[in-house]
Structures are given as structure tokens and as C-alpha cells.
Structure 1
Amino acid sequence: MKKVRQQLTTWMTKQLQLPADVMMDLPRITMIGQLHIYIENHRGVLRFSNQELRLLLKNGHLLIKGDHFVIKTILPEELLLEGRIDQVLYIDDTNT
């Protein structure tokens, strides 16, 4: 049932030309060089350190690695991270 719903949402998004991040509950990531990253539509912080940030997403995790991390803004679904960003990895948990 979950797969059918996802397929229907994808089809509706394409047919109605609606933004996929809104319709499908996807994260929106805006990165400015290696200095700032702004993430919208996350589900919470799982781990934070000076060199790593792991966020929970609807379908998986977002892992950001680097150095000198500082969370400048944190809201229920938005986060602004500053520091030297070396890697941004999406870890998919939809193995069902």
C-alpha cells in the first residue's frame, strides 16, 4: 500500500507540475560553497559534533561531514549549519 501511495504521489506531482519537495516530503538542501548548508524538511537531529551532523529524514538520513561545525539556526524542520563542509551523504532507508 505504501508503494502504491508513493507512485500515485509521484504521478500527481508530475501531472500537476507541483514542487516534488512539498508533495513528496523530500528535503530541500541549499549549499553555499563549503561554508554554509541550509536544510529544510528534516525530522530531527540524530547526531551532532564538531565534524559531523546526522539528520533524520522521512526516508533515510542525511550525513554531513567536515570540520568546525556550528549550528546557527535550528527550527522544527529547518537547520542552518556553518563550518567547512567536506561531504554530504544521503543514506536511504527504504529497503522495504
Structure 2
Amino acid sequence: MVKKWRQKMKRWITDKLELPADIVMDLPRITMVGQIHIYIENHRGLLTFSDKELRLLLKQGQLLVRGEKFVIKTILPEEILLEGKINQVIYIDE
């Protein structure tokens, strides 16, 4: 119950102060260029990687990216740039 109240309060503050939701609510920011690049900020770490799948840990759940010919172009503690043919981007709420 406290967790839901805290999330509602963060949303209210974000709306009223016009702050970026990704920063206040600790959400990932995902930028895609067509199906060839995906740039993900504010993740909690790389869980798995292959030429067909990338799985990242988020504050709440995971992010799964599926496709073909994946290559990690840049990887930093909270940012990753993936190149290849992206077919799916899936949130896994756990």
C-alpha cells in the first residue's frame, strides 16, 4: 500500500513540477532509430546478451529486446547502444 502511494506521489510531483518522468520515477528511457538502433538509458545492468537477444534489469522488472545480428556498440553502467535488426521490445514486469 505504501509503495502504491509513493508511486502516485511521484507521478503527481512529476506532473505538477513538469519534471522528466524517467528521472523522477526511475524509468528507463528508450530511443529507437527504425529497427536498426536502440539506445537504452537508466537500466540496472545487463542480464543476457547474444546476437538475437538482449535482456536488461530495470528497477521494476526487465526489458527484453529480440532480433537478429545484435552488436553492442556502447555499454556504460546505466546506458547501452545496441545495433542490429530489432523485432521486439518487451517489458517483463516481475
TM-score, normalized by the shorter chain, greater than 0.5 = yes
What is the root-mean-square deviation in Å for CA atoms of aligned residues?
0.7
Superposition map of 1:1-96 within 5 A:
1-93=2-94
* 4+ long deviations beyond 3 Å: none
Question: Unpaired runs of 5+ in structure 1?
Answer: none
Question: Unpaired runs of 5+ in structure 2?
Answer: none
For the residues of structure 2 that align with 1:33 and 1:5, how far apart are their CA atoms?
A: 35
Amino acid corresponding to residue 73 of structure 1 in structure 2:
T
For the residues of structure 1 that align with 2:69 and 2:26, how far apart are their CA atoms?
A: 30
Task: Provide the aligned length of Structure 1 versus Structure 2.
Answer: 93
What secondary structure is seen at the aligned counterpart in 2 of 1:71?
strand
For the residues of structure 1 that align with 2:71 and 2:80, how far apart are their CA atoms?
A: 11
Once the two structures are aligned, what percentage of the paired residues are identical? 69
Per the normalisation by structure 1, the TM-score is 0.93
1:91 Cα deviation after fit: 1.1
